Amino acid sequence: MNEIDRPIRRVGLGIGALFLVLVGQLTYVLVVRGDELADDPRNVRVIFREFTQPRGRILTADRFEIAKSVPVDDEFEFQREYPMGPLFQQVAGYQSIVFGNVGVERSYNDQLLGRGFDVSVGDAADLLSNRKRTGDVVLTLTRTGQQAAADALGGRKGTIVVLDVQTGGIVALYSNPTFDPNVLAGHDPEEVQDAFEFLNTVPDNPMLSRGYRQLYPPGSTFKVVTASLGLEAGVTTPTEPVYPEITELALPLTANALENIGGNLCGGTLFESFVRSCNTTFGQIGLDLGDRLATGARTWGLDDGRPPIDVVPGAVESIGPAPGAFKERAPEFALAAIGQGPVAVTPLQMAMVAQTVANSGVMMTPHVMQEVTDDRGRVMERYQPEPWREPMQAGTAAVLNDMMRAVVTEGTATAAQLPGIAVAGKTGTAQVAGAEAPHAWFIGFAPAAAPRYAIAVLVENGGDLGSEATGGAVAAPMASAVLSTLLAPAPAG
């Protein structure tokens, strides 16, 4: 080989190698990642294809339209509309030519487009006429429940979550502030981009689904979990031991102390301490449990998986004290036992805690889909309720039911009472790092004897009462208003 041929040969080999790399990359993209890329909502071809097809409706359980498609005279042919605006945004989501699908629009995209439906003989005419099939997604949420939650919050920053006790179906999930999804469903990319950027600069973050995407200290509502763990471990019973009436509990490994609210004397049996919400008693139970508090919290779902809600993006994971850390960080466990320190939860998680007590110790999988029907009204898919966890025995749940009833009849949650209906609940007033005003909480369920609905109410930074807020004064009346609406007899006729 002469000197001239050698460089040419090198160039040829280099081009051949690059060609093989290109073929390999194309093979990987088309074969290995083909389906993934085809289904990616950011794929422009996917967006164009789906916007030019008819799309089914999203309906409430009481059959009100949340989302629908209407024909329009532009290249996309169909425009997605949200008749109830901000009311259901945090569940229904939106369909955007810029940002893809979010919420139910994403998690049930195929069903809304009628994909995968079984074809029967009666559909032959549709096939011959090339008629596009669609599906309607019917939710577990009701307009009645969602509007009641919005009215109860009344513009205050916070969230309300209501669950069906037996099925885990979400009856209401509303947080404020919210926004109108119609501004992101338009067909002008520049206007949609501007609206999105504006919503992301608003200080109160209206795009945040506070019910299942934000973590908060749960305060004394977490005493439900602590009490269950103490009872299950045999550390305490409803009547023994009798905890001392003190104003503060000395914490090990430090010169600090855990105080009762207002510096009050508080103590007695577990039952009495629960009704009075004694921090000192529950701090001591946390110390008595030690690492069992951390491992037990995992059985309730903290640090052990996100609640598998069928909305995209899904719920964030609640967190608790670190297992195995008690010896070095004992004071944190006392704080965790009263819902402070290393504990942070979503309001959905705390609604699930209340639902578990009401459901004899079985925590159901939360979900928003009730059924899917085709465009002829035939049921194509129906959600089958299933347990997610079983963190305590039925006997423990029965004890907690009695304790939570007493909180409403004679304790910190008397404002949650309903005429003629027994309510069970627990309040919380959670201190927030760097803020003067605490978060106000209430979790509970009703009717207490035969539970139908479980609820969690969270009002950020005390709502109208600010630093003077308590869960009993702020959140409990909101829970009462929502439960009263949901349990009201249906109008005659």
Residues 45-68, mean pLDDT to the nearest whole number = 85
Q: Where are the alpha helices (DSSP H) in 364-470?
A: 394-410
Phi, psi of 311 (to 5 degrees): -135, 140
The Cα angle at residue 297 between residues 293 and 302, in degrees rounded to 5: 145
Which pLDDT score is estimated for 54?
Answer: 87
- In this predicted model, what pLDDT tens digit does every residue of 349-386 receive, in sequence order? 999 999 999 999 999 999 999 999 998 999 999 999 99
- In this predicted model, what pLDDT tens digit does every residue of 242-264 receive, in sequence order? 999 999 999 999 999 999 988 99
Is pLDDT above 70 for 421?
Answer: yes
Residue predicted with more confidence, 248 or 5: 248
Residue predicted with more confidence, 126 or 182: 182
Is pLDDT above 50 for 24?
Answer: yes
Is pLDDT above 50 for 72?
Answer: yes
- In this predicted model, what pLDDT tens digit does every residue of 279-296 receive, in sequence order? 999 999 999 999 999 999
Catalytic residue among 220, 277, 318, 480: 220
Which pLDDT score is estimated for 14?
Answer: 62
Is pLDDT above 80 for 453?
Answer: yes
Which pLDDT score is estimated for 9?
Answer: 66
Which pLDDT score is estimated for 74?
Answer: 84
Q: Crossing angle for the helix pair 279-289 and 223-233, nearest 10 degrees?
A: 50
The secondary structure of 316-363 as a DSSP string is: PPPB-PPTT-TTT-HHHHHHHHTT-TT-BB-HHHHHHHHHHHHTTT-E
Is pLDDT above 50 for 121?
Answer: no
Which pLDDT score is estimated for 353?
Answer: 98
Alpha-carbon distances of 355 from 66, 298, 346, 359, 454, rounded to whole Å: 26, 17, 14, 6, 5
- Residue 40, C-beta contacts closer than 8 angstroms, at least 6 positions apart: 46
Percent of the chain whose pLDDT exceeds 70 = 87
Q: Which of 36, 136, 106 is nearest to 310 (CA)?
A: 106
- Residue 449, C-beta contacts closer than 8 angstroms, at least 6 positions apart: 422
Question: What are the structure tokens assigned to 345, written together?
Answer: 């939860």
Whole-model pTM: value is 0.89
Q: In the structure, what pLDDT confidence band is assigned to residue 132 with cuts at 50, 70 and 90?
A: confident
**Euclidean distance between CA atoms 318 and 339, whole angstroms:** 12
Is pLDDT above 70 for 31?
Answer: no
Q: Which of 474, 491, 415, 416 is nearest to 448 (CA)?
A: 416
Is pLDDT above 50 for 444?
Answer: yes
- In this predicted model, what pLDDT tens digit does every residue of 200-240 receive, in sequence order? 999 899 999 999 999 999 999 999 999 999 999 999 999 99
To the query of whether residue 228 is one of the catalytic residues in this protein, the response is: no
Q: By the 8 A CB rule, do 456 and 354 touch?
A: yes
**Euclidean distance between CA atoms 440 and 456, whole angstroms:** 11
**Euclidean distance between CA atoms 265 and 261, whole angstroms:** 9
Is pLDDT above 90 for 398?
Answer: yes
Residues 477-483, mean pLDDT to the nearest whole number = 98
- Residue 89, C-beta contacts closer than 8 angstroms, at least 6 positions apart: 82, 103, 178, 179, 180, 181
**Euclidean distance between CA atoms 458 and 108, whole angstroms:** 28
Instruction: Please name the residue that has the structure tokens 């855990």.
Output: 258
Is pLDDT above 60 for 89?
Answer: yes
Which pLDDT score is estimated for 294?
Answer: 98
Q: Which of 57, 50, 94 is nearest to 76 (CA)?
A: 50
**Euclidean distance between CA atoms 96 and 491, whole angstroms:** 39
Q: By the 8 A CB rule, do 270 and 299 touch?
A: no
Q: In the structure, what pLDDT confidence band is assigned to residue 304 with cuts at 50, 70 and 90?
A: confident
**Bridge partner list, 164:** 453
Least confident stretch, 18-27, 78-87, 312-321, 394-403? 18-27
H or E segment to which residue 143 belongs: helix 143-153
Residues 143-164, mean pLDDT to the nearest whole number = 97
**Euclidean distance between CA atoms 132 and 264, whole angstroms:** 68
Average pLDDT, the chain: 91
CB-count exposure of residue 39 (10 Å: 0-12, 13-18, 19+): exposed
Q: In the structure, what pLDDT confidence band is assigned to residue 33 with cuts at 50, 70 and 90?
A: low
How, if at all, do strands 266-268 and 243-246 pair? antiparallel
Is pLDDT above 70 for 11?
Answer: no
Q: By the 8 A CB rule, do 78 and 71 touch?
A: yes
Which pLDDT score is estimated for 326?
Answer: 97
Q: Crossing angle for the helix pair 291-299 and 279-289, nearest 10 degrees?
A: 90
- Residue 133, C-beta contacts closer than 8 angstroms, at least 6 positions apart: 114, 117, 123, 126, 374, 375
Q: By the 8 A CB rule, do 106 and 41 touch?
A: yes
Q: Where are the alpha helices (DSSP H) in 277-329?
A: 279-289, 291-299
Which pLDDT score is estimated for 129?
Answer: 47
**Euclidean distance between CA atoms 367 and 142, whole angstroms:** 13
**Euclidean distance between CA atoms 362 and 45, whole angstroms:** 45
Q: Residues of 80-109 as b/e, b for ≥16 C-beta within 10 angstroms?
A: bebebebbbbbbbbbbbbbebbbbbbbbbb
